[in-house]
Structure 1
Amino acid sequence: MKPSEALILGVDTAGSYHWTGHGTPPWQVDAFFRSVKALGANHINFHVHPITHAGKRNSALMQAMLLDIDRACRQRGLYYTLSIEAPNFAPKAEITPGVNEYEHSGDRHFWLLRPEWLQPLLPPKQPKPLLRAVIYDEAAHMQLSNNKYSHFPKADFDKPFFVDTRGMTMPKAWAALVNECGRIRSNHYRLPVPLHTEQVWPDLFHIFARAGWTAAPKLLKEHLNAVVVSVALGAAVQYQDRGARFWVSPDLWSPLGYPGHPPESLRSALLMGYQLGAEGIYVENIDYQGPPKDGPAAGPRTRHPEAPDRGSLVAWQDRETFALTAYGKVVHQFYTQYVPRHPRALDWRTYRPRVAIIRLPDGGWGQFSPGHKPVPHGEASSRDRLLGNPEMPLDKAASEWLHVWPIL
């Protein structure tokens, strides 16, 4: 992080209370911004969705939406990022009528924001941009599983993400992924806005970083933080000359429910990211209420014993009235008190690895069959695909590096 750049301390709007509960985007709600201020955050990761209801006006409305987000943040002195998770859970979106925005050559399935929508937010049209990145949520997951959830709530979608790796050797598939991620960054976006991905499993970080992306580890979630952070930090250090940076995103979700972690674990994740020198830290989610009791998005409603009855960092009594939960109080204390009182003498670039694991990042992270525990769902065969190739499940060679971690 350059001395002139602010440390990003943010929140994430996945499952936004106002949007999912009342149909109003959070950037149009003043009370939402009051809750962000109460937490002490200076950044919001907005989840954006395609506009498809207005025919030929859809594209103009998409640009207007992004300008609306930028204007709302500019009025309040906030940075923001744009998360385009929508195709992870939807098979199509027709912004141009009759054309699936998510469909690309080779029957691949992902979303490219149109450069003309982003240009008004960035130099030279906006000399002091507040947009910090375009984020592809869990791109590694989508690549390895062939977008299995894009027919949500079913898990039967099966189209490649960035690269169709069927029939490729692992070295060829690795090179194809690096090249395609680089092409998306340099040939499509061609803008002074970084590309990020949030990732859960301890692999593919180096593929994205080599292509100039920032691959941010999700902390907490369902994994071992130390392992994932080690791999992510190593990728950022190795490929910083290509544009990779180090951000982290503590995520309160777990396979057993939401919130699935105690407040003290959130504090620990924030401390880990900060003391490792991350230049961006944002928590998922700010005000998700948990899955609904019924309907297509219904899910386990188990909450951690220390979690409130509803909400995440913030619990809403109504559209205008909120309170900080125990999680929100942790974030408020960390952002407004701990960080100012504990300035860092280093950042992530300061670190030098003592151990290097030399391997091809092939997507092998310890996948296991549904018959194994402790996670109740196991891992379906649709995720047991090295670099997304259904003909290449996890094998002995791809598993060898996992034996290094108990020694470390």
Structure 2
Amino acid sequence: MTYRPRLGIQGPVLGWNDPWNRAGSERIMRTGTGKMIPPQEPDVEPETYMAALKELGAEFYVHHLFPDLQELPALIEDCRKFGIRLVVGNEYGNINGPWREGTNRYDVPVEVVQTLVGSGMLEALLYDEPEHLQINAAQYRKGEWFPHWGNLQADSMHEAHGRFVERVRAELAPLSEALGAAWPVLSEQVFPVLFHAQARAGMTPAPKIMKESFHPLQLGTALGAAKQYGKALWICADLWGPDTGPWLTRLSGFPGHSPAEFASALRLGYHMGPSHLFAENIDGLLRTGEGCRLEATEFGEEWLRFVRDYVPAHPLPYDHRQARANIAIIHSDDGNYGQNERPFGIRELPMPERSQSIFHAWRLVTHGAVPVHGSCLHIPGYSFPRHALQFDEPSAQYPLREGVPAERYGEPIHPLFQPANGVLAFDAYATAEAIGSPRLIVLAGSYISDGTLAACVKLAEQGSAVIACEWLLPEELRMPRRFGGGGSWLPVDSLLGEAAREHAAPYLGSDKLWRQSFGEYAVRISPADEKGFSLHIEIE
């Protein structure tokens, strides 16, 4: 087989007004910065804009709907005219309202969904960072506590998970009915938590790469969720991030990654075999040049090289559905990325200390590259260069056409590379079929289902090495064992201890290599520079 993901681009938020809703662009906030930001360049006519999308090789366009809906008829017709499919998202409504009662969530109206389906141009509906807005409910809607999927009550993590899945499924039911089975509802996520819970409720995982992610963790978690729940995998290459440097900077943090990192991230996302891959946002890729013509930025040039040269020269012999675990992490999806509170957005429910064992599991399988206290850069210990820039350059100076000198605001902190040896993450309800036949299984989190635990025991008997947090186990499974089939069973009180490290060591691979397995193939990813901001990628 040969396979190629569909490629797309998300619309502008800083460079210019929305081509189909200029008035709306001047009334609402289009970024999560908490302030109105005037457009930095002249308006662009819809025909010119669509021609630029075609020139960039976009097969679909990601558009966040303005709550006044004024742009929709013309946008649909222009997409039809230029042969570009349409993904409609809810970010502008999340930021500005109107919100579903008791939530911080904007839902695309059902009648709009019906119009989109009837148009024949819809590719998907997109929910922007729902895991973030569930856990950090005051991000946009201040004052009261209105989580994205609403307030929940539970007395345990197990109960909270069940109530969360039920709530997401119920809240999406009207949209799912209007969509039918052919169109997915995407869970586009910055944090590597609740992928599995929202997939269990029917959503399609759409991880963001670059941003502030540890990539083996972010992608291994999303790949595992898609595999376990039979969903497609979308990937967003998000240019917003923590770093600064000598490149076009429209605002502190955008772009927050170098052009070289962006180039490697596109190739990385592509080699995960997603159904769709898109860049956020187009105003990082284009700027207005002489004669008010749109021209590629240094990021746009990297995108064009990727679309025109790299993709045609590197057809994939697999897709994400063939993802295979050499190492499986099985854990309860507790919603903890390092904040250690508000599980599932429930302020009254303490986050159990045992939920942090998922960080320990990832630290174990990445040769210590992932920190012990969180799963992304939004945790103590990381100082973002963009924050120093934010308080130094007045907003009137943007865009910075040449960016800022390298390391003026500190060394970049976001490499793409951490080592891993074919790691997929599954939740506490994973079946034997989803888990497959990994060489190493690590059991972590605050609980595990009886069926998943039984599957892991059987896999140990068949040859897998299993390291399990002992609090997950009944008394009869709390003794180390070795099996005739070559497998082993090691209960531990900490995944950070010497016993866990020694038991895992034969399965971890090189600390200079990240491998991701798909069927009979493996993607070999290694650093192309000293700190891993750019990558060498090949298929074996």
Residue of structure 1 equivalent to 2:11: 13
Could you say if the C-alpha distance between residues 69 and 189 of structure 1 is closer, same or farther in structure 2, counting changes exceeding 3 Å?
A: farther
The 5-angstrom pairing of residues 161-240 of structure 1 reads 161-190=148-177, 191-192=179-180, 193-240=183-230
1:395–1:317 CA distance, 2 compared to 1 (3 A): farther
Letter aligned with residue 271 of structure 2: Q
Equivalent residues in 2 for 1:9-408, closer than 5 Å: 9-15=7-13, 17-19=15-17, 23=22, 29-51=46-68, 62=69, 65-90=71-96, 92-93=97-98, 102-104=99-101, 107-122=102-117, 125-126=118-119, 129-151=120-142, 156=143, 158-190=145-177, 191-192=179-180, 193-240=183-230, 244-256=231-243, 257-287=253-283, 312-317=284-289, 320-367=292-339, 384-408=341-365
Cα distance change, pair 32–215 in 1 and its aligned pair in 2 (3 A): same
Deviation at 1:85, TM superposition (A): 0.7
- Contact in 2 for aligned 1:386/1:394 (Cα 8 Å): yes
1:27 deviates by 9.4
1:214 offset after TM fit, Å? Answer: 0.9
Cα distance per residue 1:190-221 (max 9 Å; x no partner): 12331002111111100111122112111000
Partner deviation per Cα, 1:332-376 (whole Å, 9 max, x = no partner): 1111221122111110011122222222211111237xxxxxxxx
Q: Which has the higher contact order (CA 8 A, sep 6+)?
A: 1
Q: TM-score, structure 1 length as denominator?
A: 0.75
Contact 2:2/2:317, CA 8 A, preserved across alignment: no
Cα deviation for residue 387 of structure 1 reads: 1.0
Higher strand share: 2
Question: Hey, what's the Cα distance between the residues in 1 that align with 2:44 and 2:277?
Answer: 20
Tell me how large the CA RMSD over aligned residues is.
2.6
Alignment partners' CA distance in 2, 1:319 and 1:365: 47
Q: Distance between the aligned counterparts of 2:207 and 2:345, measured in 1?
A: 20
Return the alpha-carbon distance in structure 2 between the equivalents of residues 159 and 27 of structure 1: 37
Does structure 1 retain, via aligned residues, the 8 Å contact 2:8–2:59? yes
* Shift in CA distance, 168/85, structure 1 to aligned 2, threshold 3 Å: farther
Distance 1:14 1:199, change over 3 A: farther
Superposition deviation, residue 231 in structure 1: 0.0
Distance 1:396 1:27 in 2: 52
**Structure 2 CA distance for aligned equivalents of residues 49 and 145 of structure 1:** 23
Matched to 2:122, the amino acid is L
Q: Distance in 1 between matches of 2:336 and 2:291?
A: 44
- How far apart are 1:174 and its partner, in Å? 1.0
> Residues of 1 paired with 2:264 and 2:227: CA distance?
23
Letter of the 1:165 counterpart: L
How far apart are residue 65 of structure 1 and its match? 3.5
3-state SS of 1:133 partner? strand
Shift of 1:284: 0.6
Structure 2 distance, partners of 1:176, 1:27, is 46
CA pair 28-177 structure 1, distance change in 2 beyond 3 A:
farther
Change (3 A) 1:164 1:275: same
In the alignment, the residues of structure 2 paired with residue 147 and residue 85 of structure 1 have an alpha-carbon distance, to the nearest angstrom, of: 15
What is the alpha-carbon distance in structure 2 between the residues aligned to residue 319 and residue 138 of structure 1? 38
Q: Is the 8 A contact 2:286 2:294 kept in 1?
A: yes
Answer with 1 or 2: which has the greater Rg: 2
Question: Does the Cα contact within 8 Å between 2:2 and 2:315 map onto a contact in 1?
Answer: no
Contact 1:247 1:278 in 2 (8 A): yes
CA 1:114–1:89 in structure 2 vs 1: closer, same or farther (change >3 Å)? Answer: closer
From the superposition, tell whether residues 346 and 263 of structure 1 become closer, same or farther in structure 2 (CA, over 3 Å): same
- CA shift, 1:33, in A, is 1.6
Q: Is the 8 A contact 2:104 2:133 kept in 1?
A: no
Letter in 2 for 1:86: Y
* Cα shift at 1:157: 5.1
Query: How many angstroms does 1:263 deviate by?
Result: 1.1
* Match of residue 294 from structure 1: none
What number of residue pairs does the alignment pair up?
334
Q: Is the 8 A contact 2:287 2:295 kept in 1?
A: yes
1:325 Cα deviation from its structure 2 partner? 1.0
